[in-house]
Amino acid sequence: MSPILGLNSPTASANAARHVAIIMDGNGRWAKSRGLPRTLGHQAGVNALKRTVEAAPELGIQWLTVFGFSTENWRRPVSEVSELMALLKRYVASDLDRLEAEGVRIRVIGRRDDLAPDILAVIERAEARTRFNERFNLQVAFNYGGRADIACAARAYARAAIAGEVSPDAADEAGFERFLSTAAGPPPDLIIRTSGERRLSNFLLWEAAYAELVFQDVLWPDYGPEHLKAAMDEFLARERRYGGADVDDVRAAG
């Protein structure tokens, strides 16, 4: 684990964000600023992901969801898309043994029906080999879009209603979200976006309802444990009300 933080899981705050989601943004700008091709920016981004996954448990994080490839990323040049697919395969090939041994469970959310067979095989192998791990959950949003996931859940709910498995009249939020690809885990407490951009970009739209948002002005390939800790410190300084009023404010108004 990273020595930068000076932390370990037992001493992490009880109020820490248990589920952190990250929009890993800035690979292309990082490469451009150095006169490098975008593909090298993506490669450097994989190293940042490795550092972040290693540091997360020390901060009390139990679930980490990262935005790896969106449904809109298919619009990028073919060469760049091919490199992103190759990076996924290299990441799994180089780190799967270690992640499995360290108790990390890998889940991949997003559409799979239009993925190439070799990419699908990599995803299924990673999930199968780590399915019994419980120490830490790494969830990768790959070929994922928040709107598409909600639409897919709506279709699945409709099919279940037609089959008589659920009642349309009894539909509620808890019942619906069982059909989302993220149903296996808790909603994110904290969503981080790097590179200084301040938007969700179609990421975890349903799940983000009460998440705290932190935007950090650092390009993703430069991201490390110190940045993750800074985001967690900001999270801990906030008061989460879930739509309710502050008790002191209510008393003062009364």
What are the catalytic residues?
25, 73
pLDDT at 83: 87
Average pLDDT per consecutive 10 residues, the chain (254 residues; last block may be shorter): 40 76 96 95 94 95 95 89 88 92 96 91 96 96 96 95 90 93 96 97 97 98 97 93 60 49
Q: Does domain 14-147+187-240 have CATH number 2.30.110.10?
A: no
pLDDT at 229: 97
The pTM score is 0.88
pLDDT at 79: 87
pLDDT at 17: 92
pLDDT at 15: 79
What is the 3-class SS of the chain, one letter each residue? CCCCCCCCHHHCCCCCCCEEEEECCCHHHHHHHCCCCHHHHHHHHHHHHHHHHHHHHHHCCCEEEEEEEEHHHHHCCHHHHHHHHHHHHHHHHHHHHHHHHCCEEEEEECCCCCCCHHHHHHHHHHHHHHCCCCCEEEEEEEEECHHHHHHHHHHHHHHHHHCCCCCHHHCCHHHHHCCCCCCCCCCCCEEEECCCCCCCCCCCCCHHHHCEEEECCCCHHHCCHHHHHHHHHHHHCCCCCCCCCCHHHHHHHC
